[in-house]
Structure 1
């Protein structure tokens, strides 16, 4: 990740607060008969459950994503888990909410995986998975929720008015559409809901992401665990308050500036410490960053055109030196504006190689 997002407080985030109350104060304390009065500690959630209660009648057709599942899961907590298990799960759930510490694998702050709940009760895990994934896929779009908390588009518009870079922080090359446009970018579940369902509606785990990053490269990969080799990974926290510092170092072995390919380029990503380097390695692997950057630099309208500009449009070496100095100055001001991110390291490498 090249730079962090600023987290935006919005009414839509309240749904996650309501569900956290439900998990910690209702389900994990399940020891009596269920009734809607158990939701008295969260009046907004109780009102929503009451308004949606009519859907419990199967003759009414519409799917019940709230009231029925809440009571079913409550009964499963009561029958499938004993008091000690519920208490342990509650503690684990609370600790797992600190996403920044979870991503850094801080002691006592473990991620809550679907498999952990499955180890306690497969039927409970299945019902929780269905409930949580429906929160994002369906509940956010219910009128009863939108009337209270607004829509995902409302949140997105507020989000991009504060996060104004205009590019995807996971690749730095694709734009993020503005609030003036219809629709919105996809919200990636940074911790994929397929493996970590309880983060499904946590907006600190939801990050607007360009189509390529979300739907082509990251997909359902976990940024904190490599399931293929069974190894923990360190990841950037998308809403960190600390600036990220990634140096992109490019080397070239180009003989013909109009005809070169990926094999003629090497790109390295350097952090300021071993821990930062671990995060960078996770980021570049998940988003296939090196290959995508090479593709950018071998594109006729990008990298190859930048070289044409330097060699064909600027005939004098003094003019080329001035242009490089101007680009470096712009890069130092803001490496994420225009084509600075890749153009400057690439052209500097070309100059070092002796292309101009």
Structure 2
């Protein structure tokens, strides 16, 4: 990253709070058959869940069924297993620490599947859908994530670019749409939601990215993993955190290997990036 974004506190963070409560206070404390009293400590979410149970729509029933089905699987686990899953949840949602620490490894769906096959399948179905065009969080019972995201984007652009068109910090080249545009840039998951559970609705793991970076280059690339091109072995590495309060200076060097500029071919141009003390981050 060429520069960082300024994180903003916003109503949209409530969706991650809902996720935190459901995972840590409902599923990880599963005892006895499920009932609505499990939400007593979070009256707002309890009211929402009650309304969803009465909503016959597919999206509402998906959410209700997922919460109950996953709770049922957690009931089968021992105390130590629940404690371990709670730890994994908190690690996967501490995106800043995952970027700074090259020894802290988040759990992925592949590893989760080996330990808890049914739970892994249910969690992937649930978390994959929490953020997207068919998210149950778009329902009026939740306050409509889609509408709240528009408000978040406007506040975000105002904070980071004074409301105007900005520059994508990931490539440093392409524009980020300002508040005078009718469309929004897509929010990209820094830690890929397809590979890692728990953080698909965490806005510390979501950042606006230009269309070129999001659709052509980033895709499902994992910035916190280095994959050897020959052995395919993966090792944890550091990465620039999009909302870091640290500052760094990246040096870009362009080398032209032909003095005949009019006939210069792209293979005769090399671009190198460097940043003092940030080798792993640059490679990411």
Which residues of structure 2 form unaligned runs of 5+? none
Question: Under a length normalisation based on structure 2, what TM-score does the superposition of the two structures give?
Answer: 0.90
- SS of the aligned residue for 1:198 comes to coil
- SS of the aligned residue for 1:111 comes to coil
- SS of the aligned residue for 2:88 comes to helix
1:114 aligned to 2:109? yes
Measure the CA separation in 2 of the matches of 1:62 and 1:90: 26
Measure the CA separation in 2 of the matches of 1:148 and 1:216: 26
Is the Cα–Cα contact under 8 Å of residues 11 and 150 in structure 1 kept in the other structure? no
1:98 aligned to 2:94? yes
Is the Cα–Cα contact under 8 Å of residues 92 and 198 in structure 2 kept in the other structure? no
> What's the counterpart of residue 153 of structure 2?
156
> What's the counterpart of residue 244 of structure 1?
248
> What's the counterpart of residue 189 of structure 1?
189
**1:74 CA displacement:** 0.5
Tell me the matched-pair count. Answer: 275
Is the Cα–Cα contact under 8 Å of residues 140 and 151 in structure 1 kept in the other structure? no
**1:89 CA displacement:** 1.4
> What's the counterpart of residue 83 of structure 1?
79
Is the Cα–Cα contact under 8 Å of residues 258 and 268 in structure 2 kept in the other structure? yes
Is the Cα–Cα contact under 8 Å of residues 141 and 151 in structure 1 kept in the other structure? no
Pair 1:32–1:270, CA change in 2 (3 A): same
- SS of the aligned residue for 2:2 comes to coil
Pair 1:236–1:50, CA change in 2 (3 A): same
Pair 1:62–1:70, CA change in 2 (3 A): closer
> What's the counterpart of residue 221 of structure 1?
221
> What's the counterpart of residue 280 of structure 2?
278
Which residues of structure 1 form unaligned runs of 5+? 283-356
> What's the counterpart of residue 291 of structure 1?
none
CA RMSD of aligned residues (A): 2.0
Is the Cα–Cα contact under 8 Å of residues 102 and 238 in structure 2 kept in the other structure? no
> What's the counterpart of residue 209 of structure 1?
209
1:255 aligned to 2:255? no
Summarize deviations over 1:107-131 as a string: whole Å, max 9, x none: 5x43132233212211111111111
Q: Once superposed, which parts of structure 1, at least 4 consecutive aligned residues long, lie more than 4 Å away? A: 60-63, 147-150
Higher relative contact order (CA 8 A, sep 6+): 2
Measure the CA separation in 2 of the matches of 1:203 and 1:35: 29
Question: Under a length normalisation based on structure 1, what TM-score does the superposition of the two structures give?
Answer: 0.73
Pair 1:124–1:224, CA change in 2 (3 A): same
> What's the counterpart of residue 143 of structure 2?
146
Summarize deviations over 1:134-163 as a string: whole Å, max 9, x none: 111213322222358952111111111111
